[in-house]
Structure 1
Amino acid sequence: LTQDDDTDEVEIAIDNTAFMDEFFSEIEETRLNIDKISEHVEEAKKLYSIILSAPIPEPKTKDDLEQLTTEIKKRANNVRNKLKSMEKHIEEDEVRSSADLRIRKSQHSVLSRKFVEVMTKYNEAQVDFRERSKGRIQRQLEITGKKTTDEELEEMLESGNPAIFTSGIIDSQISKQALSEIEGRHKDIVRLESSIKELHDMFMDIAMLVENQGEMLDNIELNVMHTVDHVEKARDETKKAVKYQSQARKVRLSCCLQRRELPNPASLLFFSTLYLAHANCYVYIIL
């Protein structure tokens, strides 16, 4: 190589390292956002339980839940946008195969799956809260003498008008309390369904992405297994070369290990294994 060639290679390596540094920074930021969403989901589940356990929940509890729901949606949208942006850049670089590209694919896939897992738990918690709230409404209607089927109750919820079943309730203290709870639970469900609809498209978008990544992850695992085989074969060949040199005393063994610095490997799930799969190791036997 000429000096100019060496300079070009160094510049490319530096540019690539800077690019991967930025990528891993985005990965870490996105991972922290997903972890925070997971924490918020657990907090939301606790607030759901508090609201369900009280006939007339405290306004502050509902306000806290509303703020938490807003924060989850905000962070979830941020994560979705980051993942979509990463996916776009990966597709643009698909034409060239490299260790960096495979690492980026792997990290993107891991985060996408983690995000879907967290949002699935959130959706399950929301659906459970809706069903239990609906059950409370049904019981309170029974207390007032209004028996309803599940289909009739769903009709009330879809119409957004609890008066369909609450009109004509006897004016008594018990009935007033039941009516107040029915109206409160109904409002909770309306707000909840609005949140579920807002998150639905985003959830399906990422869920489809993860489904399409299944084959890619299987291929990565296969590549890693093949790499282990290649490393073992290379080790055997090296031992044979050393033995030959000792016997003939005319063989000079020169090993050239080409290395590249990769940033921030400590916190990466597949980092060391995937880089091994694409490390370049050349053994030259010069007679």
Structure 2
Amino acid sequence: MKDRLEQLKAKQLTQDDDADEVEIAIDNTAFMDEFFSEIEETRLNIDKISEHVEEAKKLYSIILSAPIPEPKTKDDLEQLTTEIKKRANNVRNKLKSMERHIEEDEVRSSADLRIRKSQHSVLSRKFVEVMTKYNEAQVDFRERSKGRIQRQLEITGKKTTDEELEEMLESGNPAIFTSGIIDSQISKQALSEIEGRHKDIVRLESSIKELHDMFMDIAMLVENQGEMLDNIELNVMHTVDHVEKARDETKRAVKYQGQARKNLISLQPGGTTFIFRWEWSLNGLPESKGNPFLCFLVTILGPDSAINLALEESNLPDATPKFSSKPTPAPATEVPFLLDRMN
């Protein structure tokens, strides 16, 4: 009786290893599911920011086109600005968190890590693109508001250069605009618009400063990702090359397999006789011993039938068979097997 205890222990160890691999695979799948959930949430937030930016552009145009904008329009713009900042901070924090996790797993070179890097890079670039459009809209609104202030000052008789106007705006003191203005109906209306535009610019500059640090963080992150994206693109190109090479090799393999089948054997329609195509030289008859084709024929037809088939063709000249690659099957009486004996 054999002692199979060691074999049982070895089998148990193998099963334990398999269980560990399954557990790791399940944990990894759950981790990637959570990652893609965060990616989708972040993408939706970026899309929402993009929508808010377009709405803000419309409100900027409305405010600039009206001498004295409606208070509700300014309130709507203020709420929209707050919502953009809130969502932008959320996206920034998510992207920074993803970046930290990727850096922690940098020692591992896996397909999952490359996917996470690629997804993080795509979202970072998209976020920077949206926030750049928002920043451009804010700067454009500031410049156009400054132009309106300059025109209103000209109406009241005060001409200012761009440098002087910038100095006035940076001071944050509206009294600079009102000093020395003639007391008239036109001047009062111009003064009211000047003060309103000045407040708009002050609020706008506060928003720009709040978003500046966040914008620079993400912009630097995207800049650092440039080399990684180049590597990803290179890997993709290499993968395409490997696929094309494998496809060509597969085609050649299929072609060779088809040729081999044609060269090996053909079945005579309507019967059970197998025909091997041979070409003959003048070196004598084939030996059956150790010949795989002759053994195969004996196995299929049986020894008696194979011998009878050989005897029927005993009037053919002595020859040594040579296997040919001609695919066209011949009649059974033209090129049958010749057997001199069965061993």
Write the deviation string for residues 10-57 of structure 1: whole angstroms up to 9, x where unpaired.
111111110000000000000000000000000000000000011110
Write the deviation string for residues 164-207 of structure 1: whole angstroms up to 9, x where unpaired.
13112111111111000000000000000000000000000000
Tell me the distance in 2 between the aligned counterparts of 1:128 and 1:236.
56
Deviation of 1:229 after TM superposition, in Å, equals 1.5
Tell me the distance in 2 between the aligned counterparts of 1:206 and 1:117.
10
- Match for residue 46 of structure 1? 58
Deviation of 1:255 after TM superposition, in Å, equals 41
Deviation of 1:267 after TM superposition, in Å, equals 66
Map 1:87-102 → 2, pairs under 5 A: 87-102=99-114
Calculate the aligned-residue CA RMSD, in Å. Answer: 15.0
Alignment CA distance shift 1:210-1:53 (3 Å): same
- Aligned with 2:311: secondary structure? strand
Alignment CA distance shift 1:2-1:60 (3 Å): same
Alignment CA distance shift 1:15-1:255 (3 Å): farther
Write the deviation string for residues 242-287 of structure 1: whole angstroms up to 9, x where unpaired.
566667789xx9999999999999999999xxxxxxxxxxxxxxxx
Tell me the distance in 2 between the aligned counterparts of 1:258 and 1:130.
107
Deviation of 1:233 after TM superposition, in Å, equals 2.5
Alignment CA distance shift 1:258-1:268 (3 Å): closer
Alignment CA distance shift 1:33-1:167 (3 Å): same
Q: 1:165 aligns with which of 177, 181, 192?
A: 177
Deviation of 1:235 after TM superposition, in Å, equals 3.1
Alignment CA distance shift 1:257-1:21 (3 Å): farther
What's the TM-score, normalizing by structure 2? 0.70
Alignment CA distance shift 1:249-1:205 (3 Å): same
Alpha-carbon contact 2:63-2:74 (below 8 Å) kept? yes
Deviation of 1:119 after TM superposition, in Å, equals 0.3
Tell me the distance in 1 between the aligned counterparts of 2:249 and 2:37.
40
Answer 1 or 2: higher relative contact order, Cα 8 Å, separation at least 6: 1
Higher share in helix: 1
Tell me the distance in 2 between the aligned counterparts of 1:195 and 1:263.
104
Alignment CA distance shift 1:239-1:257 (3 Å): farther
Tell me the distance in 1 between the aligned counterparts of 2:36 and 2:317.
8
Deviation of 1:6 after TM superposition, in Å, equals 1.8
In structure 2, the gaps of 5 or more residues are 1-12, 263-306, 319-330, 338-343
Tell me the distance in 1 between the aligned counterparts of 2:317 and 2:82.
35
Map 1:77-92 → 2, pairs under 5 A: 77-92=89-104
- Whichever of the two has the greater Rg, that structure is 2
- Match for residue 74 of structure 2? 62
**Which moves more between the two structures, 224-233 or 125-134?**
224-233
- Match for residue 263 of structure 1? 317
Tell me the distance in 1 between the aligned counterparts of 2:82 and 2:174.
26
Tell me the distance in 1 between the aligned counterparts of 2:180 and 2:174.
12
Q: 2:118 aligns with which of 85, 106, 118?
A: 106
Alignment CA distance shift 1:105-1:189 (3 Å): same
- Aligned with 2:35: secondary structure? helix
Alignment CA distance shift 1:237-1:128 (3 Å): same
In structure 1, the gaps of 5 or more residues are 272-287
Tell me the distance in 2 between the aligned counterparts of 1:38 and 1:209.
20
What's the TM-score, normalizing by structure 1? 0.84
Q: Alignment length, in residue pairs?
A: 269
Alignment CA distance shift 1:55-1:219 (3 Å): same
Tell me the distance in 1 between the aligned counterparts of 2:222 and 2:189.
47
Alpha-carbon contact 2:95-2:124 (below 8 Å) kept? yes
What percent identity do the matched residue pairs reach?
94
